[in-house]
Amino acid sequence: MKILGIETSCDETSASVVDDSFTVHSNIIYSQLEHGKYGGVVPELASRAHIRAIVPVIEEAVEAAETDLRSIDGIAVTKGPGLVGSLIVGLSVAKGLALAHNKTLIGVHHLEGHIFSNRIEHPIEPPLLTLLASGGHTELVVVSKWGQYEILGRTRDDAAGEAFDKVAKLLGLLPNKGSVMGGRLLAELAEKGDPQAISFPRALSREDGFDFSFSGLKTAVLNFSRSLKAGELERIKADIAASFQAAVVDVLVTRTVKAMKSTGISQVGLAGGVAANRSLRTQLGDSVKEQGGKLYCPTLSLCTDNAAMIAAVGVARLANGYQTEVDLDATPRLSL
């Protein structure tokens, strides 16, 4: 069984072919560069860029998988959450292809896709605790069965990736870099700095529960940067980046370990764009191991938005006898 996955929820146009053993036959990702000069994703530009890219990206994915649309068993497409105009592009193409080729159409929750990114490479059997940290979401999710999710905690304001992006912007790391993803650039700079140079706040650390908050941290970095004398910011930029990253990683790791203890779940999955962060992967891996658990991290190409994770959810759905959702529509605000 083969599934074609389509992902267009934000600024990546992606298509992928995955089979029923979760082998990825292709995973084509086109990252839109047109937003770079605006410092953030412009929804209208994103929809137009998806329209231009979607057909060639699907053709490339099908060709790279050495298959054709007739041999595909189902089409899985992101239905939300995301930018409505962007979601509609992927959904319209998926619906058209499903109708034309008489294939099952499967609407997939974007966050379930991120959770499944770990299932692609590892034959994990739940229960699994997933720390999902992306540009739009930061959540601790209990996966009691595939398809059955309980959110233990979530961010009350900014997502972890969003905080990375905003701090990268205020440190001036974004101009002329094309992409609006500051996280990777900030992480690269952080490698050169001292993570203990500045003590930034760890919000909600004394509170019960598993929620996160990153907007105070972002403001603390902003205030600290503004308090510096001219020229000093340039000199200690790497220390600021490293200290900020240490605060984010500390909060994410502490909360995840607390959730492991509270639920008794020893298998942990890290997912979402921030899962690409080396420091987070290492520190979470060490802490989970200290608790006698095991951490699963996706390879880098499966951390940020991609269609393979969407196709993987489609594989699981179709294996359970899924029927096409006739009224499948874009759902910009969709909870797991």
Binding site for Zn ion (CB under 5 A): 134, 305
Interatomic CA distance for residues 239 and 123, integer angstroms: 39
**Residue numbers 291-320 binding ligand KG4 by CB under 6 A:** 304-305
Is the CB of 98 or the CB of 238 nearer to ligand KG4?
238
Which one among 134, 155, 213, 267 touches ligand KG4, defined by CB under 6 A? 134
Contacts of 137 by beta carbon, 8 Å cutoff, 6+ apart: 111, 154, 155, 159, 272
DSSP labels, 8-75: -SSSEEEEEEEETT--EEEEEEEE--TTGGGTS--HHHHHHHHHHHHHHHHHHHHHHTT--GGG--EE
Residue nearest to ligand KG4 (CB): 273
Q: Give the range of 121-129, 144-152, 226-234, 273-281 binding ligand KG4 by CB under 6 A.
A: 273-281
Residues 112-131 touching ligand KG4, rule: CB under 6 A, are none
Contacts of 208 (CB under 8 A, 6+ apart): none
Question: Does residue 136 touch ligand KG4 according to CB under 6 A?
Answer: yes
* Least distance from ligand KG4 to the Cβ atom of residue 118, Å: 13
271 with 132: CB under 8 angstroms?
Answer: yes
H-helix or E-strand containing 223?
Answer: helix 215-226
* 81 binds, options ligand KG4, Zn ion, none, Cβ within 5 to 8 A by partner type: none
User: Could you tell me the smallest distance in angstroms from the CB atom of residue 190 to ligand KG4?
Assistant: 8
**Distance separating alpha carbons of residues 67 and 111, to the nearest angstrom:** 28
Which of 161-169, 211-219, 308-316, 318-326 is the region at the interface with ligand KG4 (rule: CB under 6 A)? 161-169
Stretch that binds ligand KG4, among 36-44, 197-205, 268-276, 316-324 (CB under 6 A): 268-276
Note every long-range contact of 169-172, with CB atoms under 8 Å and residues 24 or more positions apart, other chains counting: 169/39, 170/221, 170/222, 170/225, 171/225, 171/233, 171/237, 171/240, 171/241
3-state secondary structure of 325: coil
Residue from 5, 126, 153, 183 in contact with ligand KG4 (CB under 6 A): 183
Q: Which does 26 bind (CB under 5 to 8 A by kind): ligand KG4, Zn ion, none?
A: none
Q: Mask of contacts with ligand KG4, 3-22, x by CB under 6 A?
A: -------x------------
According to the binding rule CB under 6 A, does residue 161 interact with ligand KG4? Answer: yes
158 binds, among Zn ion, ligand KG4, none (CB under 5 to 8 A by kind): none
Q: What is the dihedral of CA 217, 169, 57, 270, to 10 degrees?
A: -20
Q: Please say which residue, 158 or 239, places its beta carbon nearer to ligand KG4.
A: 158
By CB under 6 A, residue 109 contacts ligand KG4: no
Q: Decide: helix, strand or coil at residue 76.
A: strand
284 touches ligand KG4 (CB under 6 A): no
Q: Which residue from 125, 45, 30 is spatially nearest to 86, judged by alpha carbons?
A: 45
Q: Which of residues 189-248 bind ligand KG4 (CB under 6 A)?
A: none
* Binding residue (CB under 6 A) for ligand KG4 from 85, 272, 285, 298: 272
CB atoms within 10 A of CB 235: 10
Output 220 or 271, the one with its CB closest to Zn ion: 271
Find the helix or strand (DSSP H, E) in which 149 lies: strand 148-154
Q: Is 165 in the site for ligand KG4 (CB under 6 A)?
A: yes
Binding site for ligand KG4 (CB under 6 A): 10, 134-136, 161-162, 164-165, 181-184, 187, 272-274, 276-277, 304-305
